[in-house]
Structure 1
Amino acid sequence: MRSDHDATVRREPHVSRRAALAGSGALIAGLAGCTGGQSSDVAGDESGATVGDEGSDDEDAPVAVASFFTFYDFARQIAEGTPVRVENLVPTGLHGHGWDPDPSITRDIIDADAFITVGPDFQPWADRAIRTVRDDGADTNVINAREGIDLIDLADTVEDDEEVDSGKDPHFWLDPLRAQESVDNIAEGLTAIAPDHEAAFADNADAVNAELAELDAEWEAIFEAADRDVVFLAAHNAFEYIGQRYGATIQPLVMNLAAENDVRPADMRRAEDTIADNDIRHIGAAVFESRRPARQLRDETDVEAYYPVTPYAGTTEEWVDRGWGYFEIAREINMKTFEIVLDAAEPETAFDEEWRNFE
């Protein structure tokens, strides 16, 4: 098995996760709600958490919790039509990389049947939670979505504290073809907690991977239509996989996500030089990061407008209301922005009205 699980026998007597949470008081405000395998729609709960429209009424149904929006979204699609419930631990509106939750959320993970992660060294809180799970003797099956995936080297525009696996870039899921391997990892991990539904997990994973293949073709078409091959993002560098997969240079402004509100003068000068040297008029700006640097570049350079990009590390209340997951965000946000910043197409009117120089 690719997934890592230290125990294979559930503790007795079995206590449902929700009953355990009710007894311990560990269910914190803002925690993401659950989605049932019966639905791939996304809706919102009172706290703004991401939840499914439908869920299993069986309190003893297997539960998988995810530390990151992308892999929550893949997992809920893989679990569709099965009793497995999938929960996103990251509250709506927060970036899944920089988030550092209250330690009490570890109770959710201990009481879950599976914990889906981005792999070691990416989310320190998740690594701490896994150690606690093991120390507690819990039988939570840890599913490493990154297991076995060929990662690219960390770019010079990313600081070393973001590296994983000895100098590698962790943002592999932005590449649809590498993301397919994570889908297989998740399907295998869910099979470990609900083996009677192996065929359903496999079929659903095949469907997700087929759509990822379609997404890859759509990305390729955008880059083939591009009139430029240098893109500037007033954002932290999570997009190197896109640049390498489709043959473009993606220049980010922010090297370190933690430094997003304090951009170094040297980085701003580099940005200004890149924009001038490449006659750039449109740039990307991160949805879950400060827009102040993008506004500064718009005001102080020849940049006319900035548009949204996101590494699928979180979701907004509006996207939840629209039922958007990874694929919808790719097509409705990232691809439309890349068409503009690559000079591959004119902005769609509705998109331009909603997102041009967004606040």
Structure 2
Amino acid sequence: MRTTENRSRLSRRRALLAGSGVLAAALAGCTGAGGQQANRTTASSFEDDEDAPVVVASFFSFYDFARNVARDTPIDVRNLVPTGLHGHGWEPNAQITREIIEADAFIHVGENFQPWADRAITTIKADGVETELINARAGIELVDLAASLDPEEEGVGENRGRDPHFWLDPQRAKQSVRTITDGLVDIAPEHEETLRENAETYQREVLDRIDADYRSIFDAADRDVVQLAAHNAFQYIGVAYGIQMRPLVTNLAASDDIKPSDITDAKETIDEYGIRYIGAAVFETRRPAEQLIRETAVEAYFPVTPYAGVREDWVESGWGYEEIAYNINMPTFEVVLGNKPPEEAGPDGWAEKWRNFE
């Protein structure tokens, strides 16, 4: 149950909602779909607790970290990004700000990554709403956007910026789990022991295991270059495991136009390293990957994802960060590095399902 302090905080928040007009101004100018959550979780024994603390997350990875930490507590964790949408290319409507304001805590990725989340935080601060703000990026050392590229390919300007996709490195993800845990303890101190035990278990049994298994994949590879028909979201895997990640688009825009020079560079990499298979992003256009199949020796593309969104079938199967790592990214890296033929990677039927996926 909520403490008296939590109940009081909620009452003040509802009063602000009723009297400040915050929702009308919160996301002025925003368009697009907004209220449906991709998923939510509350421990089963607490499902009827209407006073359970509510935590909303702006990004799937941190929603998943939080729901694992909150297991066996009454904390209700919700993902704000609808199923099937990319986590940082989405513009919600004002209903999302209402959900954030009515929540006890808001987990976000840090500033300058999700503009809608930045605007919601500005609203919360301006109106004195006491939603706990949990910055999942706090204490994380970011790398350069071009950190795992050859120095001659780093470019200038935007490619010299900092890469926010830190959660792809399981060790950096552990710091994020610790930050989220501290935030959940703040709103549910009576469950601190369970929260911290869950966090330690998740870090040890999931993130450390993923780290070790990734390392085994990359250490076994004869080639240290991966070609991706995707935007620049995988540098942390390159940095962590000594691999050159060659994205087709070397900036952060997942929807950015692909230039002829991008295709030319990819063709040169494919030819130089004898690449037969490439990775293609699940939530991005497959047209450039299809073009590379037509115009190079590449035989097929397979899926990669920076955990920026979830498909309906992943939600139905209860997949989180762990399951996506083992069922999507790891099998693809085994294939694109030449460690295994597609038929031997992933669970049964993986190659048939994901080879040149729609």
Query: TM over 0.5, yes or no?
Result: yes
Q: Of 25, 35, 44, which aligns to 2:41? A: 35
Number of the residue aligned with 2:186: 192
Number of the residue aligned with 1:232: 227
Q: 1:161 to 1:195 in 2, by over 3 A?
A: farther
Deviation at 1:230, TM superposition (A): 0.7
Deviation at 1:9, TM superposition (A): 6.1
**8 Å CA contact retained: 2:35, 2:95:** no
Deviation per CA, 1:85-110: give whole Å up to 9, x if none.
Answer: 00000000011011111133111111
- The 1-side partners of 2:63 and 2:238 are apart by 25
Number of the residue aligned with 1:84: 75
- The 2-side partners of 1:14 and 1:228 are apart by 55
Query: Is 1:247–2:237 an aligned residue pair?
Result: no
Number of the residue aligned with 1:307: 302
Aligned ranges 1:38-77 → 2 under 5 Å: 38=44, 56-77=47-68
- The 2-side partners of 1:117 and 1:162 are apart by 24
- The 2-side partners of 1:15 and 1:208 are apart by 34
- The 2-side partners of 1:93 and 1:297 are apart by 25
- The 2-side partners of 1:15 and 1:278 are apart by 60
Deviation at 1:254, TM superposition (A): 1.6
Give the SS at the match of 1:231. Answer: strand
**8 Å CA contact retained: 2:62, 2:107:** yes
Number of the residue aligned with 1:106: 97
**8 Å CA contact retained: 1:98, 1:257:** no
> TM-score scaled by structure 2?
0.86
**8 Å CA contact retained: 2:221, 2:339:** yes
- The 2-side partners of 1:244 and 1:116 are apart by 26
Q: What amino acid sits opposite 1:271 in the alignment? A: A
Larger relative helix fraction: 2
- The 1-side partners of 2:102 and 2:263 are apart by 46
Deviation per CA, 1:132-151: give whole Å up to 9, x if none.
Answer: 01112111000001101111
Q: 1:11 to 1:339 in 2, by over 3 A?
A: closer
Deviation at 1:264, TM superposition (A): 0.6
Q: 1:191 to 1:259 in 2, by over 3 A?
A: closer
Q: 1:94 to 1:28 in 2, by over 3 A?
A: closer
Give the SS at the match of 2:222. Answer: coil
Number of the residue aligned with 2:317: 322
Number of the residue aligned with 2:169: 175
Query: Is 1:207–2:213 an aligned residue pair?
Result: no
Q: 1:343 to 1:301 in 2, by over 3 A?
A: same
- Range with bigger deviation, 147-156 or 298-307: 147-156
Give the SS at the match of 1:323. Answer: coil
Q: How many residues align?
A: 330
Q: 1:214 to 1:259 in 2, by over 3 A?
A: closer
Deviation per CA, 1:132-179: give whole Å up to 9, x if none.
Answer: 01112111000001101111122166986688xxx3211110000110
Q: 1:198 to 1:159 in 2, by over 3 A?
A: farther
Query: Is 1:122–2:113 an aligned residue pair?
Result: yes
Identity %: 57
- The 2-side partners of 1:55 and 1:305 are apart by 47
Q: Of 276, 283, 293, which aligns to 1:281? A: 276
- The 1-side partners of 2:145 and 2:85 are apart by 24
Number of the residue aligned with 2:20: none
Deviation per CA, 1:196-238: give whole Å up to 9, x if none.
Answer: 1111110010011011001100001101111211110000111
- Range with bigger deviation, 67-76 or 132-141: 132-141
Q: List structure 1 segments (4+ residues) > 6 angstroms apart after TM superposition.
A: 24-27
> TM-score scaled by structure 1?
0.86
Number of the residue aligned with 1:47: none
Number of the residue aligned with 1:137: 128
* Structure 2 unaligned regions, length at least 5: 1-5, 16-22, 27-32, 147-152
Give the SS at the match of 1:263. Answer: coil
- The 2-side partners of 1:29 and 1:124 are apart by 17
Query: Is 1:265–2:265 an aligned residue pair?
Result: no
Number of the residue aligned with 1:296: 291
Q: 1:32 to 1:283 in 2, by over 3 A?
A: closer
Q: What amino acid sits opposite 1:107 in the alignment? A: R
Number of the residue aligned with 1:341: 336
Aligned ranges 1:144-183 → 2 under 5 Å: 144-155=135-146, 167-183=161-177
**8 Å CA contact retained: 2:10, 2:104:** no
Give the SS at the match of 1:253. Answer: strand
